[in-house]
Amino acid sequence: MKLNPQQQEAVEYLGGALFVLAGAGSGKTRVITEKIAYMLQSGYKPHHIAAITFTNKAAKEMQERITQRLGKERTRGLTVSTFHALGMRILREEAGHIGYKKNFSILDSSDSAKIIAEMLDTTGREAIFKAQHQISLWKNNLLEPAQVYALCEDEWQTQIAQVYTLYQETLLHYQAVDFDDLIRLPAILLRDNREVRQKWQTRLQYLLVDECQDTNACQYMLLKLLTGLEARFTVVGDDDQSIYAWRGANMENLRRLQEDYPQLKVIKLEQNYRSTARILRIANALIGHNPKLFPKTLWSNLGEGEAARIVACRDETHEAEYVVGQIQANKAIYGANYADFAILYRGNHQARVFEETLRAARIPYQISGGQSFYDKSEIKDVLAYMRLLANPNDDPAFLRAATAPKRGIGDMTLGKLNEYAKAHECSLWAASGSLNALAELSTKSREAVQQFMALLRDYQLRAAQDAAGDVIQDLLADIRYEDYLIDLNAENIKSAENRWRNVQDLCDWLRRKSDEDGRNLIELSQTIALMTLLEGKDGEEVDAVKLSTLHASKGLEYPFVYLVGCEEGLFPHADSVEEGGLEEERRLMYVGITRAKQQLTMTYCKKRKRAGAWQYPEPSRFFDEMPSDDVVQSGRGQGAAVSQEQGRKNSQALLAMLDRKMGK
C-alpha cells in the first residue's frame, strides 16, 4: 500500500528534530520502518541508526518488518530495541565509569521487594509496593537519594527516602541494578561524562523513538543526551494516548520538545486505517473535551459503519451474560474467530465474572497479564544459577540457588553466613569461601557449603567459554534438578513433568541463542533478565476471546470490542477523579474506543456489588460527551436492556434462523 502524503513527508524529512503526531491506527510503525529504509538508501550506515520502542514485542515486530523490507545484510548493525535494552548495552560497555563490573545482575521486582521489605522490617505487601513505587518515581524523575529528602512531605516519605539511600548502597554492593536503573544510570553517566557522551553521540547518529508520549523524565533526558545539539531524531507519538502517568510517564515531555527544540517540525498523521467513521467520530468528540497540545481529527475511508451501542445491564452477572451472548451471536453472523473479540475493563478484578460466563459457554479466552514463562518457579531457579555464575556478588541469586534443590544448607546456616557477610561487608559467595565464616558452622553444614561452592566454581570456569545451554544442562544433571522437581510434586507427577519440560525449553533457547550470535551464559543472563522485566506476559496467539485491562490493550486492535463497567466510580475511576486525573481517564476511554475496528459496545450496570453491599452507580459521564447520532442506547432510564432469560431466547432464535438459512 502506498504511503499517504503526510506519511511520505515524515519518511523523507531529515532536516532536524521531527515530531510525528500519529493518531490511533494511522500507520506509525510503517512510517518508522519506511524511514529507516529511506535513511539507509540515503547514505546512513545501519550501525549509526537506533529505533527505540517500549516493549520487546514492538521491537521484534519492527525488526522483522525492516528485515523483510531490506534483507538481513543491508540491516546488519542496526539497533532496534527498547529503552531498557539500549540502557543495558550502554551500561555493559561503560560499567567501569560508575563502579560496576560488566557482568552486573539485573534484579526483578520480587528481588527488589525482598530487599526493601528487609529494610522496612515488614511483610505487608501494600507497604512494600508503595515504597517500591515511590522509589521508582524518584528514579524516573532522575532524583538521587540525597535530593529527595528536601521533597519529602511527611514522615512516611522521609522513611522511604532513607530506604532509597540504603537500597542503592545495597544494589551497588550486590553489583546489581533494578529496572529503573537501566535508564537512570546511563542518563546520569552521559550527563556527567563528556567523553562517554560524545562517544555514543558519534556511534548513534540518528534516533527514532516510538510512543514518545509515554517517556518519563529519565528517558527524555537520555534522548536529549544521545542526540546532542544537532537533534537528529524523529519521535512518534500521540498526546491523546498518554495513559501511564501512574508509572512515571510525563506528557509534558511533548511540550518540552517544542521548548527545547524551537525548530521542531510537526507532521500530523490523521488518516486512520483501522476503524469506521462512526467509531472515529465518537473518539474525536470524546477527546475534544481535553485541552490539546497538538489538535488533530482522525478520519477514515473505511465507511460509516454501525452505530456504537451503550447498553444498561441489571448487574455484573447480567453484564457478562449479555456480552457473552453478543459474542456468540456475532461469531455466527459474521463467521468471526474468537480472537476477533476483546472484553476491555478498567480493573483486573472485573475479569472474574466474565471468565466464569465464558467457561460456562465453553468459549476459549485468554487473559492479558497471565503468568510469564520467566515467573515460573522452576525457571527462576535456573536463572538464579545463571545470575550467580555471572555475578558472584548477587546475594538474592545465591540464596535461591543454595536452596533449590535442598542440599543441607538451611536457614540457620544462611543466617550465619549472612551475619558474617554484613560484618565484613562482603557477598555471601565471599563469606562461603571464608575459613573464618565456615568455622562458625557445624561439620555437616560446612561440608554442604563447601560442596556447593566447589560446584559453582567449576561451572563458573565453563560459563565464560562453553555454550550456555550445555553448561546449564550439565549443571542441572549434577544437582539432580529433575529428581528435585519430582520430589517436590510427588502428588502430581504431571506437574513435575510440565515443569521439567519448561526447563528443557529454556535450555533449548539458550543453545539457539549461543549458536546464533555467540553470546555466552554471562551475557545471556542479562538478556533474559531484561526479557523477564519487559515482556507483556501474554502467551502465544491463540483463537480465544481476549480479556484485558484498558491499559494493557494499547497498541492492539479487534473487529469487536466490548468496553464494560462504564460507570462513575469505576470508569472514570473515583480515585483518578479525586486526584485530578479525569483527563487521563478520558484518554483511557479514547484508547479503548479506538481499539475497535468494526463494532463497539459499551456496557454499564445499574447496580454492582462491592464489599458485599449493593451500590447503584450512575452511567459514565463520558457517554454524555459522545455524539448522539453515532450511538444507540438501550435500557437507560428503564429496567435492564434485556432480561437474562430473554437474552437466551434471542440468542437461540438467532442461531435457529442462521441454521435455517444455511439449510441445516
Nearest by Cα to 626 from 276, 282, 299: 282
**Cα–Cα distance, 426 to 392 (Å, whole number):** 11
Residue with cell 560524545: 198
Q: Is 451 a catalytic residue?
A: no
Q: What is the CA radius of gyration of the chain?
A: 27
Which is the catalytic residue, given 28, 296, 387, 597?
Answer: 28
Question: Helical H runs in 535-632?
Answer: 550-553, 574-578, 582-593
Report the sign of the C-alpha dihedral through residues 249, 255, 261, 264, in that order.
Answer: positive
Q: How many CB atoms are closer than 10 A to CB 380?
A: 18
- Residue by residue, DSSP assigns 601-626 as EEEEES-EEETTEEE-PPBPGGGGGS
Q: What angle do CA 608, 610, 613 make, to 5 degrees?
A: 90
In whole angstroms, give the CA distance from residue 401 to residue 455: 12
- 260 to each of 223, 461, 540, how far by Cα in Å? 12, 50, 42
Q: Provide CB contacts within 8 A for 367, sequence distance 6+.
A: 351, 355, 547, 548
Cα→Cα distances 621→60, 212, 289, Å: 39, 29, 12
Q: Is 27 known to sit in a ligand binding site?
A: yes
d(CA 297, CA 280): 9
Does 26 appear as a known binding residue? Answer: yes
Contact between 446 and 485 (Cβ < 8 Å)? no
Query: Residue 543, exposed/middle/buried by CB under 10 A (0-12, 13-18, 19+)?
Result: exposed
3-state secondary structure of 636: coil
Distance CA 627, CA 310 (A): 12
Surface-to-core class of residue 614, CB atoms within 10 Å of its CB (0-12 exposed, 13-18 middle, 19+ buried): exposed
**Residue of 232, 281, 400, 595 with catalytic role:** 595
Kindly report the backbone phi and psi dihedral angles of residue 425, in degrees, each rounded to the nearest multiple of 5, phi listed first.
50, 50
Residue keyed to cell 543495558: 88
CA dist., res. 288 & res. 625, Å (int): 9
Q: Is 29 a catalytic residue?
A: yes
Could you tell me where the DSSP H helices lie in 298-374? Answer: 316-334, 351-360
The answer to the question of whether 274 is labelled as a binding residue is: yes
Cβ–Cβ contacts within 10 Å for residue 652, how many?
11
* Annotated catalytic residue 53: no
With 0-12 CB in 10 A as exposed, 13-18 as middle and 19+ as buried, what is 610?
exposed
Judge whether 28 is annotated as a binding position. Answer: yes
Q: Is 413 annotated as a binding residue?
A: no
Q: Cα separation of 428 and 416, whole Å?
A: 10
CA distance 485 to 499: 7
Give the active site residue among 33, 234, 241, 633. 241
CA-nearest of 527, 597, 506, 606 to 557 is 597
Indicate the DSSP class of residue 565: -
**Is residue 149 within 8 Å of residue 80, measured between CB atoms?**
no
Q: In what order do the strands lie in the sheet with 341-345?
A: 365-367, 545-549, 341-345, 558-563, 596-605, 308-313, 631-634
Considering the candidates 111, 210, 316, 567, report the single residue annotated as catalytic.
Answer: 210
**Cα torsion 549, 552, 555, 557: sign:** negative
User: Is 28 annotated as catalytic?
Assistant: yes
H-state helical runs in 80-206: 83-94, 109-120, 125-140, 145-148, 155-174, 181-192, 194-203
Sign of the CA dihedral 121, 125, 131, 132? positive
Q: Exactly one of 34, 181, 211, 395 is catalytic; which is it?
A: 211
Binding residue positions: 22-29, 274
Mind telling me the catalytic residues?
Answer: 28-29, 210-211, 241, 595
Detail the residues annotated as belonging to a binding site for ATP: 22-29, 274
